[in-house]
Amino acid sequence: MTDFSAKFYANFIKDDRWLGLVTGLKVTIIVTLEALLLGVVIGFFVAIIRSYHDKTGKFKILNAVSRVYLTVIRGTPTMIQILIMYLVIFGSSSMDSIIIGGIAFGINSGAYVAEIIRSGIMSIPEGQTEAGRSLGLSYSQTMWLIIVPQAFKNVLPALVNEMIVLIKETAIIGYIGEQDLTKAAMIIQSRTFDAFMPLLAAALIYLALVMLLTFFMNKLERRLRSNER
């Protein structure tokens, strides 16, 4: 037990090392939020473009661009995408790597979100669109007021899943020099030569983050479903 407290002291208390984990957590949260926002916006637009194309045959070029985007992003490792973004695309710019990371993760997540939302739109029966259009609503009014709200409810669990993946995936941002939660744990390890304590701490913080997110999303889901009883 004294061994444990000594280790605890050395890894977290001494030299205020716990502060590194807090700063790391902040970075993880910021990158996740940036990526989430960007990913949902990209995903939503790509999903709408693809659904609209499937239904009407219009938007040919945008649809082709979307398909290339989906293929490339889903077909290559996130790690490579981050490195290309940091070393090649923003290689000569002085932009903060926390922003670059957010953009790279956002573009990555957008591909998955797009397919999730598209599957949601496809899950709504054609009759819903027909009912909306037959009342005189335009395509976009029907989409916004009738299809998307129902689709969103159906795909919420899949979206939460994608968010959880995203939170954990940001751990690789350390490779482009950003000190996130994982990197912070590794820094402590490099000082104290103890891997167990800092990595366990990082793991527990990720777990708490994911559990918190799941808790609030379950609440949201219950509220959205309440009108079905």
Partner 1 sequence: MSANQNVNQETLIEVKDLRKVFGKNEVLTGITTEIKRGEVVVIIGPSGSGKSTFLRSLNLLEPPTEGTILFEGVNITNPKADIDLHRQKMGMVFQHFNLFPHKTITENITLAPVVLKKMTKEEADKKAKELLDRVGLPDKADTYPEQLSGGQKQRIAIIRSLAMDPDVMLFDEPTSALDPEMVGEVLELMKQLAKDGMTMVVVTHEMGFAKEVATRVVFMDEGQIKEEGTPEEFFGGPKDERLKEFLSKIL
Question: What residue ranges bind partner 1 (CB under 8 A)?
Answer: 125, 127-128, 130-138, 141, 145-146, 149-150, 153, 227-229
Cβ distance to partner 1 smaller for residue 15 or 130? 130
Nearer to partner 1, 138 or 218 (CB): 138
To the nearest whole angstrom, how small is the minimum distance from the Cβ of residue 125 to partner 1? 8
Give least dist CB 115 to partner 1, A. 23
> In angstroms, what is the minimal distance from the CB of 137 to partner 1?
6
User: 63-71 long-range contacts, Cβ below 8 Å, gap at least 24?
Assistant: 66/114, 69/111, 70/46, 70/111, 70/114, 70/115
The residue among 3 and 228 lying less far from partner 1, judged by its C-beta, is: 228
**DSSP letters along 155-221, please?**
HHHHHHHHHHHHHHHGGGGGGGT---HHHHHHHHHHHH---HHHHHHHHHHHHHHHHHHHHHHHHHH
Q: Are 180 and 28 spatial neighbours (Cβ–Cβ below 8 Å)?
A: yes
- Pick between residue 26 and residue 153 the one whose CB is nearest to partner 1: 153
Task: Check if the beta carbon of residue 7 is closer than 8 Å to that of residue 17.
Answer: no
CB 229 → partner 1: shortest distance, Å?
8
